[in-house]
Homo-oligomer: A and B are copies of this chain.
Amino acid sequence: MELADAPDPRLCHARHILDRVGDKWSISVIYSLGATTLRFTELRRAIDGISQRMLTSTLRTLERDGLVERTVHPVVPPRVDYRLTKLGLTLSETVCALMNWAVDHSGEIDEARAAYDRRADHQPVSAPAHPR
């Protein structure tokens, strides 16, 4: 009986978690928060290119997953603080490692991409879907 290349159940289940983590904005939020506390607008400014809609929804999801803690201060004007929970902090370590890897090897990846594109014996990677 061939169990050899059966779907890895660990991998399967983990995918539900990683779908969140893999989200490009979640990574940025977790990385930006780190060990500090930030307000909504501070996060918005810290993460270049994120829309308020995406920031809201990303924060909501992270809060639901128990990774981010949301604190509303009943003052006017409103003030809401976000910070990583204990669980979120453990994840942030791994996320930082990933981020550091990306920074450390971005040069190699850029080179590899350029070299790949220079060679002509391949299909264009961008546009496998709608070449028109």
Contact = CB atoms under 8 A, between A and B. Distances in A.
Interface residues of A, number: 65
Interface in A43-95: 45-49, 53, 56-57, 60-61, 63-67, 87, 90-91, 94-95
A6 interface: yes
Contact of A7 (B19, B45, B105): B45
A1 interface: no
Secondary structure dominating the interface of A:
helix
B91 A101 contact: yes
A35 interface: no
A10 B87 contact: no
Given A5-B38, A18-B99, A21-B22, 12 more contacts: A5-B42, A11-B46, A11-B48, A18-B102, A19-B24, A22-B22, A64-B125, A65-B113, A66-B109, A90-B105, A94-B97, A97-B97
Interface of A: 5-8, 10-19, 21-24, 27-28, 31-32, 38, 42, 45-49, 53, 56-57, 60-61, 63-67, 87, 90-91, 94-95, 97-99, 101-103, 105-106, 108-109, 111-113, 115-117, 122-123, 125, 128-129
